[in-house]
Amino acid sequence: MVQNTPYTYTNGLVNLEEGHISREIFVNEAIYQQEQEQVFTRAWLFVGHESQIPQPGDYFNSCMGEESVILCRDRAGEIHVFLNSCRHRGMKVCRYDAGNTPVFTCPYHGWSFATDGKLVGVPFFKEAYHEQLDKSQWGLIEVAQLYNYKGMIWATWDPTAPPFPEYLGEFSLFLDLCIDAWDGREGCTKVLGGVQKWLIPCNWKFPAENFSGDSYHNISHRSVDMVGIGPGGTGRRDRRELNMSRRLHVSFPERGHQTGVYVLPKDELPPASYQESSIVAEYFRHCEAERHRRKKEWGRLIGSPGEIFPSTALLPRQPRSIAVWHPRGPHQTEVWRWYLVDQDAPQEVQDYLRAYYMRYSGPGGMTEQDDMENWNYAHAASRGTIARRYPYNYAQGLGYEVRDFSYQGLPIPGVVTDLTESKSSEDNLRNFYRRWAAFMDAKSWDELTTWRQGAQSDKGSNLRLAYGNTANGNT
């Protein structure tokens, strides 16, 4: 059963049958520490993009949860992710954001590590260590598994975690809307400019649940819509291709990933919305038509924000970007934001998108500021002794999710809520916390996998069907 998960996490702190979640999971120090162990050491986390390290010796200083890690390419061209902590006394061996180096030399006592992680230099190796230090045992700590998904580098510390494609499952359909080129070619994207990084005073799960599909907070962005900073200069929610589509939430209870998506009617080409310059408009018109041709019926999908469990958010429609919510204690989150562009996009398109991304997203972007205001104040107002006695409400749309949804011949995988009529649902948010609770309770990946299989075999059994007892959308 999807709703009646056995994982309610420690005396019902996460109660998904009624849609109540305790504020403690956002503000409690002990729960935060447990979360680091149970979630962040076991899940697959996004580390960076291979376009950030194109040459041997290139590195990018990244994070996995609280851990500082180095994403680098060794002399042979192989990609690695290492813990950025010297094996001698823990000093960061790399303190720059990015660069190129033959070795990482620790600034404390001078041990040096090659870009394949091997310990290659130890001061006074002969005199002080009498050549008895076994250097082969003291290289940099490397992640247990690494996966290059169309240029995105993912990693996990857990050797027992399923391989990344299995962890991702059918959600690849939605990740591809973000990472494939705009004309539908596989991969072929690169990071545009640097990575935006900023701190916000709230728990990391506030942005994670919001990007999972908080379709209820339109009021927060009302001023942005009125200003009309959308790609067409006409606001961002009145674009024709979105108005004529089905608007869905899609979630995968067995994995914890979820997203919004729009589905165009059959044989409908999305009209391009970009009109600021003729080159930009022509580029996107051409790409939309090509994407439709390459992806065939799947070209009818138009991406909307989503979340890969636990902490990687996707924005597959312009602004096309990836966000990671790095926890920095229960009361603070460090946000990192990568912006993507087609590798071979004309300079005019890249310049246009750079300006658009900056005014729309990130710490200075008009839209993101609205969201941060909400998360920061909500967190602060939930920390008090009285406030934390009262749970949040996640009951919206409870029981109205469906399996086996299709729209005009296009079958949508996962669990779906059709928002075209119901306008909003907290189904995707519940899905995020269902998986979070499973991670917090499960002792091993074996247990997480067993639960996943159980969720799959209970396909739709406890779901009340919407729209006159049919699982299909109006066709």
Largest CA distance in the chain: 82
Residue 53 Cβ vs ligand FES, minimum distance, rounded to whole Å: 23
Whose tokens are 């067409």? That residue is: 232
Per partner kind, with CB cut-offs from 5 to 8 A, the member of Fe ion, ligand FES, none near residue 108 is ligand FES
Region near Fe ion per CB under 5 A, out of 80-88, 330-338, 367-375, 455-463:
367-375
Per partner kind, with CB cut-offs from 5 to 8 A, the member of ligand FES, Fe ion, none near residue 109 is ligand FES
Residue 455 Cβ vs Fe ion, minimum distance, rounded to whole Å: 29
Nearer to Fe ion by C-beta: 125 or 216?
Answer: 216
| Inter-residue contact 122 to 134 (CB < 8 Å) | no
The residues with which 387 forms a beta bridge, in sequence order, are none
Nearer to Fe ion by C-beta: 371 or 418?
Answer: 371
As a whole number of angstroms, the distance between CA 328 and CA 401 comes to 34
Nearer to ligand FES by C-beta: 84 or 203?
Answer: 84
| Inter-residue contact 38 to 80 (CB < 8 Å) | no
Per partner kind, with CB cut-offs from 5 to 8 A, the member of ligand FES, Fe ion, none near residue 88 is ligand FES
| Inter-residue contact 211 to 305 (CB < 8 Å) | yes
Nearer to ligand FES by C-beta: 20 or 88?
Answer: 88
Residue 102 Cβ vs ligand FES, minimum distance, rounded to whole Å: 17
| Inter-residue contact 180 to 150 (CB < 8 Å) | yes
What is the three-class DSSP state of 192? coil
Nearer to Fe ion by C-beta: 89 or 222?
Answer: 222
Per partner kind, with CB cut-offs from 5 to 8 A, the member of ligand FES, Fe ion, none near residue 21 is none
Residue 272 Cβ vs Fe ion, minimum distance, rounded to whole Å: 24
Nearer to ligand FES by C-beta: 88 or 185?
Answer: 88
User: What is the total count of residues that contact Fe ion (CB under 5 A)?
Assistant: 1
Residue 91 Cβ vs ligand FES, minimum distance, rounded to whole Å: 4
Q: Minimal CB distance to Fe ion: which residue?
A: 371
| Inter-residue contact 244 to 361 (CB < 8 Å) | no
Among the listed residues 259, 268, 241, the one whose alpha carbon sits nearest the alpha carbon of residue 176: 259
Residue 266 Cβ vs Fe ion, minimum distance, rounded to whole Å: 30
| Inter-residue contact 250 to 412 (CB < 8 Å) | yes
371 belongs to the binding site for Fe ion (CB under 5 A): yes
What is the three-class DSSP state of 69? strand
Task: Name the residues that contact ligand FES, by CB under 6 A.
Answer: 86, 88-89, 91, 106, 108-111
Nearer to ligand FES by C-beta: 61 or 196?
Answer: 61
Nearer to ligand FES by C-beta: 86 or 161?
Answer: 86
Give the DSSP per-residue string, 104-169. EE-TTT--EEETTS-EEE-TTTTTTTTT---GGGSS--B-SEEEEETTEEEEES-TTSPPHHHHHG
Residue 124 Cβ vs ligand FES, minimum distance, rounded to whole Å: 11
Residue 63 Cβ vs ligand FES, minimum distance, rounded to whole Å: 20
Per partner kind, with CB cut-offs from 5 to 8 A, the member of ligand FES, Fe ion, none near residue 91 is ligand FES
Among the listed residues 142, 137, 108, the one whose alpha carbon sits nearest the alpha carbon of residue 123: 108
Query: Residue 259 to residues 256, 302, 312, 313: CA-CA distances in angstroms?
Result: 10, 11, 12, 9
What residues numbered 5-64 form the site for Fe ion, per CB under 5 A? Answer: none
Positions in the binding site for Fe ion (CB under 5 A): 371
